[in-house]
A and B are shown apart, each in its own frame.
Chain A
Amino acid sequence: MEHTKHIIRAVLLLVLATVGFVLVRHFVYPESFGRYGHYRFDSVAEHASKELEHGAPGVCNRCHAEEAQKKAEGKHASVSCELCHGPLGVHVKADAKVGDMPIDRSVKLCGYCHQRLDARRSDFPQVVLASHALEKGAPTAEMACLECHNAHKPNE
């Protein structure tokens, strides 16, 4: 049995390597890695816990019921408040007012949807912004849309 010690050494080396592997793996791999697949599960929770910027639909009605009602009756019923006014996050956070909602009265904002474009489907209401005001008898072509149209109820 004089060669037994060689075998014991080899086995010891293997055991050490195994323990080392498990230890290194334990410290190198994040705790939640591999729980559901080849990724860190905590990352899912990190994504899920990101803060909201846009609010839930209809959340504006809580304080601005009158405007919301007006909009719901008009042709802009399917347009969300935040589309024109910006995300709720700049105005309200955790049910407390943090700032004023920006109000954009520019022609450009209306033009995003209503500028006449060749690629835009023809059944959607659209005008040539450069000449629309003049055609309707306005003194200048640069007149703001909102001087004639009500953004909340444009058909009025």
Chain B
Amino acid sequence: MLTNQMNDQPEGLNGETCAPVCDRRGFLRRGVGALGASVAALVILDLGELKALAQKAGVPTRPAGPVLGGYDWTKHNYVYLIDLRKCIGCGSCVRACYRENDVPAGYFRTWVERYQVSAVGELVIDSPNGGKDGFEPSIIGYEVAKGFFFPKLCCHCTNTPCVQLCPVGASYRTLDGVVLVDEKRCVGCGYCVQACPYGSRFLHPVTHTASKCTLCYHRLTRGLEQACVQACPVGARRLGDTKKLGDEVARIIATERVQILQPELLTEPNCFYLGLTKEAR
């Protein structure tokens, strides 16, 4: 009964003059066809656009590495090693970072904290001006059983939260393992500053964009070590490259008991510590 009714309808209404366009099935068929063609056109156009861009730049879109003035970023993967047993808390690294990177006063790309633990576990942590002016003897009311200095900087995480939530693609991780901020794209929303579990980002008071340790990318690409590494008088801060054959720091990280900060967050930091202790946080 039903099929009969449906077949009868077009004839009954319009006779033979109106062919398949009128009936619902024919209309849908043509409509879907047109929609499909449009989507195909869109895809082709967009692909063409991307290809044209890549050709203009003269590089393949992925994954070969470009050369920044003779520097191939696919041939490096940087890691950073801090030996807390060596650090003397002189703050030279902080001062060097300030001079190298023109850091605004009161903000830090790297800083040093002082931990003073008593025999029964009392703990005082301080970092006057980030350790930039060194440390003065302090009266804390107990004898220090365990004291150490704790230098911190951006961990340049492999699985970094700051890059993931940047709404404008201003935060990114380079192929050689450095987390950078594109100051021209950054809108200064500060999401990344809040997202960083290590507190290593800040909003620049003048440019109002996110700023952070760049691992002295301008030095790395010229084959030099970071200002902080070069400044450290006791070799507590070291730069490594896991893609470099026979790299001493890469060997230490691969074979010794190195630790990372807040491993439970699964951010996979590339800043490793030797001599980390339970009080360190």
Contact = CB atoms under 8 A, between A and B. Distances in A.
Contacts of A57: 224-225, 230
Interface in A33-71: 33, 35-41, 43-54, 56-57
A80 interface: yes
Interface string B202-221: 00000000000010011101
A31 to B, nearest CB: 7
Interface stretch (A109-117, A136-144, A145-153): A109-117
B88 A121 contact: yes
Nearest to B139: A118
Interface stretch (B4-12, B179-187, B264-272): B179-187
B217 A3 contact: no
A48 B184 contact: no
Contact of B21 (A1, A44, A50, A79): A1
B237 interface: no
Interface string A102-134: 000000100111011111110010001000000
A83 interface: yes
Residue of B61, B87, B88, B171 most packed against chain A (CB within 10 A)? B88
A111 B136 CA distance: 9
Report the contact-size class of chain A (Cβ under 8 Å from the partner): 35 or more
Contact of A119 (B85, B116, B235): B116
B27 A3 contact: yes
B21 A4 contact: yes
Contacts of A35: 53-54, 57, 59, 61
Contacts of A116: 137
A113 to B, nearest CB: 4
Report the contact-size class of chain B (Cβ under 8 Å from the partner): 35 or more
B42 A121 contact: no
A108 B134 contact: yes
Interface stretch (B33-41, B154-162, B239-247, B251-259): B33-41
B233 A22 contact: no
Contact of A121 (B69, B85, B231): B85
Contacts of A21: 42
23 contacts: A15-B38, A25-B49, A26-B49, A31-B56, A35-B61, A40-B182, A49-B69, A52-B100, A53-B227, A54-B219, A80-B233, A86-B99, A87-B227, A89-B99, A112-B92, A113-B90, A115-B134, A117-B89, A117-B114, A118-B138, A119-B116, A121-B88, A124-B88
Interface of A: 1-4, 7, 10-11, 14-15, 18-19, 21-22, 25-26, 30-33, 35-41, 43-54, 56-57, 76, 78-80, 82-83, 86-87, 89, 108, 111-113, 115-121, 124, 128
Interface of B: 21-22, 27, 30-31, 34-35, 37-38, 41-42, 45-46, 49, 53-54, 56-57, 59, 61-62, 66, 68-69, 71, 73, 85-92, 96, 99-101, 114-116, 134-138, 140, 144, 147-149, 169-175, 180, 182-185, 214, 217-219, 221-222, 224-225, 227, 230-231, 233-235
